[in-house]
Structure 1
């Protein structure tokens, strides 16, 4: 065999390797806040527009987006949808998006003032259906141009430069800058808890108790890690005062808390830990089973504080008394959106199930608890009541008396 014959397979392998490897294409987002107009100017730039056949945007029903212009073809047949077919080579699409958004009358879940902006990146870049050439991988980055006097910007994504972040979600082909964003004259506190970089950020003067939040998180973090086998690389918690919405809202890498919300309320639960459970668990429900999502978040909002030593047995029993009184009118847990009383009744059922699991598996080689059920639910995209029952009874090793309830029918 000649040396040329011996080298031929290796040469062919080298020539064909690029056919297998994905072609990386730069996708750069640029955001410029315009406080005078209550808008942000957003641009999407593609390094190789020919690799992307089309981006079909879901623009929603609230007329947030205007002034579309791009290299290539932009088509908008209705206010709700728009399609961009990028030009070859470097291609850019620009538009404007309105920031202020009322969640209820006079209460905002997105707001911009002269000094700061607080919003979700999901609204900066609407949901997209992507059509692209095969073996194409978009590499997404996000950069901000801040108004004069605005000092910094924070997102739940890793920072790669001044006002610049890397957007990478392995579960999506098209990476959007989802999660909470805060920019302007803001104050921050940072800590490393486990393997997660935690940042608490809020506009200066809005009454956000950043150090209090970090202290409580430090106590409950080991307990949360023991339940949820998921350590986000970064977690951002943002907040502000009036007239922002007086509640908590979570995303995959961040969440919002109104600055006036107590870390632990008078009834013994913690909105701060409740939203943390949503971030860690990412458990979503289907088929009128929102009691699972909200019930587990509230169950662990109590339980993690208890396990961390922040709730005595006497206080725990008083919390249960409050839940019993609040949920007394509830006849069924089956609903698409769990109310406060439904969530309270779900917590009681989950506490009863945890006791049943522990009792039935006591003395076995692997004692079980509700934690094992929760970890099973985390493997599902969305969970139904039937999924919950099946996972629980599989963990228990037999039928559950607690789950044989009219509440779940």
Structure 2
């Protein structure tokens, strides 16, 4: 029966919802930080365990997870995978996860002290293959129980209560709390930029320039909105000083930015805007095409500042000269992980392509149109990039007929 007729029949029968409506079942995450043990105690509770046949978790190879307990069934498959089969009725899986993630150079990707914890939610709840009834929709919420003296918690997800958040990712079957998170004795500043609630938060005493960050974002935000057709409903920017990793890194609805990093570096670009472009565009790549996502992020880190009036033509040309010198030895852009020189050469190619598109379309189209086309793809390859660019321009591209892309 066609959907419209089925809906009509449903209404005539006096039913409260369409026949194909999903059955909504609560999935609640609870996180308790234990600073003295460098651990968090995590639990997943399903309102009705019988609606899910199994969660097949990828536990990784670092040994971060331990002490799995459940009223259902837990089966470990070596050290890197584990399967939870919930019991009928309300069913819970609990475990412990180590928070500190040290790097070889003594820096940290995630860290917990006596006063705060800074980490990615991806590490609290590992990714999983979910086997459930197709008619069931899990309604996920994340709640924190904070140690005594810790004041607040921030995530990139909508807040529904003081320390409680709604987790909803329409692109994934398993809603888990991804993105950067920060809890403890915090200082935060907030602003509404366009349709986005922006929060800049850091532990007290870590030297985070919260108002400087909000000022820069306010300055370039209209230009970012003009390029990218979707705004995040919420954006969280977190940071801390040493021994956290000295850089910037984006995640869903969130960015980590080391408190000692300059908002605009001596080479004229901005690591913060670079990561913001990743959040806005969500462009992912495949087939040795990391130059696309990294090149576009760096291209717009320069271009958005330029369009907003924060960069003179002389300074723009000086930046281009530095990019040329840095990327002289690059023979190909095709790589799984774009290095600094490769990204620099990618930016130069993108600038050349933008000029070519504008020239051949009488300034009616630009690289912005290519970027919006890439945003519609699940993952973008170099072949995809060339096809979209030539479609935007309405002809073949001399810029993209380059050995750099082979």
TM-score w.r.t. the length of structure 2 is 0.96
Q: 1:192 corresponds to which residue?
A: 192
Q: 1:92 corresponds to which residue?
A: 92
Q: Residues 10 and 254 from structure 1, CA distance in 2 versus in 1: closer, same or farther, beyond 3 angstroms? A: closer
Pairs aligned (count): 398
Q: Distance in 1 between matches of 2:10 and 2:102?
A: 62
Q: 1:384 corresponds to which residue?
A: 381
Aligned residue for 1:372, secondary structure, equals: helix
State the 1:132 CA deviation: 1.0
Superposed counterparts of 1:216-227, under 5 Å: 216-227=216-227
Q: 1:68 corresponds to which residue?
A: 68
Asked whether the 8 Å contact 2:10–2:19 carries over to 1, the reply is: no
Q: 2:210 corresponds to which residue?
A: 210
In the alignment, structure 2 segments of 5+ residues that lack a partner are 1-8
Deviation track 1:152-183 (CA, whole Å, cap 9, x = no partner) reads 00000000001000001111121000000000
Superposed counterparts of 1:13-32, under 5 Å: 13-14=13-14, 19-32=19-32
Q: Distance in 2 between matches of 1:297 and 1:42?
A: 35
Q: Distance in 1 between matches of 2:156 and 2:366?
A: 32
Aligned residue for 2:325, secondary structure, equals: helix
Q: Which runs of 4+ in 1 moved over 6 A?
A: 9-12
Q: Residues 318 and 15 from structure 1, CA distance in 2 versus in 1: closer, same or farther, beyond 3 angstroms? A: closer
Is 1:38 matched up with 2:35? no
State the 1:103 CA deviation: 3.6
Q: Distance in 2 between matches of 1:12 and 1:180?
A: 48
Q: 1:406 corresponds to which residue?
A: 403
Q: Distance in 2 between matches of 1:229 and 1:147?
A: 41
Task: Report the RMSD for the aligned CA atoms in angstroms.
Answer: 1.3
Q: 2:391 corresponds to which residue?
A: 394
In the alignment, structure 1 segments of 5+ residues that lack a partner are 1-8
State the 1:104 CA deviation: 3.7
Q: Distance in 2 between matches of 1:405 and 1:14?
A: 64
Q: Distance in 2 between matches of 1:111 and 1:22?
A: 39
State the 1:20 CA deviation: 2.4
Asked whether the 8 Å contact 2:55–2:84 carries over to 1, the reply is: yes
State the 1:14 CA deviation: 4.5
State the 1:10 CA deviation: 6.7
State the 1:107 CA deviation: 1.0
State the 1:15 CA deviation: 6.3
Q: Distance in 2 between matches of 1:104 and 1:282?
A: 29
Asked whether the 8 Å contact 2:55–2:131 carries over to 1, the reply is: yes
Q: Residues 16 and 144 from structure 1, CA distance in 2 versus in 1: closer, same or farther, beyond 3 angstroms? A: closer
Q: Distance in 1 between matches of 2:11 and 2:365?
A: 56
Q: Residues 11 and 383 from structure 1, CA distance in 2 versus in 1: closer, same or farther, beyond 3 angstroms? A: closer
Q: Residues 11 and 262 from structure 1, CA distance in 2 versus in 1: closer, same or farther, beyond 3 angstroms? A: closer
State the 1:231 CA deviation: 1.0
Q: Distance in 2 between matches of 1:107 and 1:353?
A: 38
Deviation track 1:322-362 (CA, whole Å, cap 9, x = no partner) reads 10110111111110000000000000000000001111111
TM-score w.r.t. the length of structure 1 is 0.95
State the 1:33 CA deviation: 0.2
Q: Distance in 2 between matches of 1:352 and 1:116?
A: 46
Please identify, of 12-21 and 176-185, the stretch whose mean Cα deviation from structure 2 is larger: 12-21
Is 1:273 matched up with 2:291? no
Q: Distance in 2 between matches of 1:18 and 1:282?
A: 33
State the 1:124 CA deviation: 0.2
Asked whether the 8 Å contact 2:209–2:259 carries over to 1, the reply is: yes
Q: Distance in 2 between matches of 1:271 and 1:331?
A: 25
Q: Distance in 1 between matches of 2:301 and 2:12?
A: 59
Is 1:288 matched up with 2:288? yes
